[in-house]
Amino acid sequence: MKPKKTTKETLSEDIANLEANLPVSKTKLKAEADAQQALGVRLSELPKDKLLKLDLPEALLTAVLETRKITANGAIRRHRQYLGRLMREIDTAPIIDQLARWDGKSHAENAYFHGLERWRDRMIGDANVLSEFILQHPQTEPQAIQQLRTLVRNAQKELAANKPPKSSRELFRLLREITSAETQDLDPL
């Protein structure tokens, strides 16, 4: 019987078979366990309403909620390890995906609010910016435009008198109402 000819294809198949049969290193196992534990800790920091949206197994949900009640350092460490063990028993890909979506949305919302703050600050610094805002948001009602003018004027007076920025906050709220009523886009600029 002749020995098989080794080609690149058979060689790569042999290597893949060998790698599949090799035991996973302790370092890799520990890194995976640490990642699962970190995910469990991240879950424990989420608000309860978001936790309920994740559709977690009952045991994991209970453990995550219990984490908030623990105050002793050693107990916290042990409980985090317990969370990691529970996390290893489930498929974490959907949880990671949902957390990534929430993080992306938070970044977009922050950018949206920073844009509104820039509009507000520009309006307080220069009254002509209000006209620019109205041109970019033509659906703004006349009553809201008048309210914007009043708030800008009051905010300028408060700034000059070193008073608390009450009108500035109200101006921000009104800008948020106007832009969110017009569109669901998170980019006001």
Helix (H) or strand (E) run with residue 22 in it: none
Instruction: Give the mean model confidence (pLDDT) for residues 3-13.
Output: 64
Within-domain flag for 188:
no
Q: Are residues 62 and 102 in the same domain?
A: no
- What is the per-residue pLDDT for 108? 80
**72 and 105 share a domain?**
no
Same domain, 157 and 104: yes
Count of domains for the chain: 2
Tell me, yes or no, whether 166 and 122 share the same domain: yes
pLDDT on residue 150: 93
Same domain? 121 vs 168: yes
What is the domain extent for residue 39?
A: 11-90
At 189 the pLDDT is 44
CATH code: domain of residue 25: 1.10.60
d(CA 114, CA 108): 10
Instruction: Mark whether 114 and 47 lie in a shared domain.
Output: no
For the segment 25-40, the average pLDDT, to the nearest whole number, is 87
The pLDDT value given to residue 186: 42
| Band of pLDDT at residue 173, cut at 50, 70 and 90 | very high
Domain boundary among 54, 75, 90: 90
Whole-angstrom distance, CA of residue 179 vs CA of residue 96: 31
Q: What is the CATH number of the domain that holds 106?
A: 1.10.60.30
Residue after which a domain boundary falls, among 32, 59, 90: 90
Nearest residue to 44 via CA among 93, 91, 15, 82: 82
Rounded Cα distance, 165 and 167, in Å:
6
Section 60-86 average pLDDT: 90
Are 49 and 123 contained in the same domain?
Answer: no
140: left (phi over 0), alpha (psi -120 to 50) or beta: beta
Of 74, 90, 106, the last residue of a domain is 90
Q: Write down the pLDDT at residue 62.
A: 92
Asked if the structure places residue 187 within a domain, the reply is no
